[in-house]
Amino acid sequence: MPDQTPRRVFLVDDHRWLLDTLAHALSLEDGIEVCGTAASGEEAIEALPDAVDVLLVDMRLPGMSGPDVVRALADRRPDVACVVVSAKPAVEASAEALDAGAAAYVEKGDFRALVHVIRTCCAPV
């Protein structure tokens, strides 16, 4: 029997309209629960709830970048799967994200791929 536990997702993006739209769209997906949002990497680190499975963070943010956030959380929250998203497909950017410890790198425009990664990149315990 497949795991029915929803994936709890925390979203980080500095574009509020995109953050709100993505949060709404993901909340309509079966098996995904949006548990919070932040507009910066610093805010995400401060506000990240204990009950979260996936951190979805934009590659380019003012201040801390997505990979910076991933590195900062690596020791503090190894239980959280970090997924870096970007509007631009770039081999170097994906390599930077994965080298920082991200579980995945996904293009923002590919919503189905994003949902798939959220559902499969972690398994709640």
| Residue 76, domain CATH | 3.40.50.2300
What percent of the chain has pLDDT above 70?
Answer: 93
Greatest distance between any 2 Cα atoms in the chain: 43
One-letter identity of residue 117: V
Q: What is the pLDDT of residue 5?
A: 83
Q: What is the pLDDT of residue 55?
A: 97
Least confident piece of the model among 39-53, 72-86, 87-101: 87-101
| CB atoms inside a 10 Å sphere around CB 21 | 12
Does 38 fall in a domain? yes
C-alpha R_g of the chain: 13
Domain that includes residue 105, residue range: 7-120
Does 102 fall in a domain? yes
Q: How many domains does the chain have?
A: 1
- Enclosing H/E stretch for 66: helix 66-76
| pTM for the predicted model, two decimal places | 0.91
Q: What is the pLDDT of residue 96?
A: 87
Confidence of residue 112 (pLDDT cuts 50, 70, 90): very high
Does 54 fall in a domain? yes
CB 62 within 8 A of CB 14: yes
CB 56 within 8 A of CB 70: no
Tens-place pLDDT, residues 57-68:
999 999 999 999
Does 85 fall in a domain? yes
